Amino acid sequence: MNNKTILITGGTGSWGRELVARLLEREPKEIRIFSRNEALQVEMKQEFDHHPKLTFIIGDIRDQDEIMQACQNVDYVYHLAALKHVPICEQQPDSAMKTNVIGTGYVIQAAIKNEVDKVIYVSTDKASHPSSTYGMTKAIGEKLIVHANLREGNTKFVCVRSGNVLGSAGSVVPIFKQRIEQGLDINLTDAGMTRFFLTIEDAITLLLKATEESRGGEVYVTKMPACNIKDLAEVLIQELSTTNIKINEAGARPGESLSESLISEFESNTSFNMDDQYYVILPPFPIEGLQEAYATSMPVDFQSYQSDQSLQSKSEIRTMLQQGGFLA
């Protein structure tokens, strides 16, 4: 990244802030933060003490001209911008489609037109076996990104598929913590719900690994722990509560699944175990040089990678929360 120009769409979120901090260590020429939220941009400017290498651009990936202009003279694009909250995407599927699918298409076109070296797209476990509008739109986004490697030009496109990042905006850990601190009961959608989790540091490490090692066309998946959400809530209550906090079960929301999948049964046929940290999923169609590059890699030994297959104990959940900085 030394002396490179980098564009981050949706860069004012928790992923973007951690990514910017890590990229600045690598002495880039410029980092452009492209997002719609003016207030978050002002806040982020102050957080990074108006760093001279940061350029903030108000823009929307749904506006083709804006993203085309933002990609001028850019070497790398990290595509983080998305509508990601499941209930909102269920209520407004047209908006989810415009941002997560059409907007991603505009990012691809802008990257190719401006001869960007590589685009790294952040996806979700909900794209593997989608049951929600959000998952479906992100799955289509993945397809667009992978297939973009077949288009004319030298730009490489790669996906990173993540589970839930501990502490990201709107995620369960900060919501549960806030309710516990206020002495309020915790509401669960279903006591049997399981989810994958990873720290923001591990998420950004995966992004950087995909940047450095990918050839174009892969979907990178971190090996990450999973847990029962009720167990997670009980650990937080045990560690943080000074009053009697109850857990209420409200039932799953529209589009919400009980478990998540990072690698589906179909994808396992073209998935490889790279090391003790991550898997790589290859597309079911050939991309020049890609399949050959992984010809000696070890295929995965499972049919699917599900969040309900190997759950953490409460002790392991406690350790995960401590490592993430959510428990003393």
- Cβ burial of 209 (10 Å; 0-12, 13-18, 19+) is middle
* Domain boundary assignment for the chain: 5-163+199-223+262-304
pLDDT at 326: 86
pLDDT at 251: 78
pLDDT at 255: 80
Beta carbons of 116 and 107 less than 8 angstroms apart:
no
pLDDT at 256: 81
Among candidate residues 18, 19, 317, the one with its CA nearest the CA of residue 197? 317
The beta-carbon contacts of 36-44 under 8 Å, at least 24 apart in sequence, are 36/60, 37/12, 40/12, 40/13, 41/12, 43/12, 44/11, 44/12, 44/16, 44/17, 44/20
For the question of residue 126 being annotated catalytic, the response is yes
pLDDT at 323: 85
pLDDT tens, position by position, for the chain (328 residues)?
Answer: 899 999 999 999 989 999 999 999 999 999 999 999 999 999 999 999 999 999 999 999 999 999 999 999 999 999 999 999 999 999 999 999 999 999 999 999 999 999 999 999 999 999 998 999 999 999 999 999 999 999 999 999 999 999 888 877 767 888 899 999 999 999 888 889 999 998 889 999 999 999 999 999 999 999 998 999 999 999 999 999 988 999 998 877 778 888 999 999 999 999 999 988 999 999 999 999 999 999 999 999 999 999 998 899 999 999 999 888 888 7
Choose, from 84, 118, 126, 156, the residue flagged as catalytic: 126
Residue 166 to residue 112: CA distance in whole angstroms: 34
Side-chain-side CA neighbours of 288 within 13 Å: the count stands at: 7
Among candidate residues 125, 252, 258, 262, the one with its CA nearest the CA of residue 192? 258
Q: Give residue for tokens 């589906």.
A: 264
**Global confidence as pTM:** 0.93
CATH number assigned to the domain covering 5-163+199-223+262-304: 3.40.50.720
pLDDT at 109: 98
pLDDT at 273: 94
Structure tokens at 38: 């003016």
Residues in the chain: 328
In b/e form, how buried is each residue of 115-138, taking b as 16+ CB within 10 angstroms? ebebbbbbbbbbbbbbbbbbbbbb
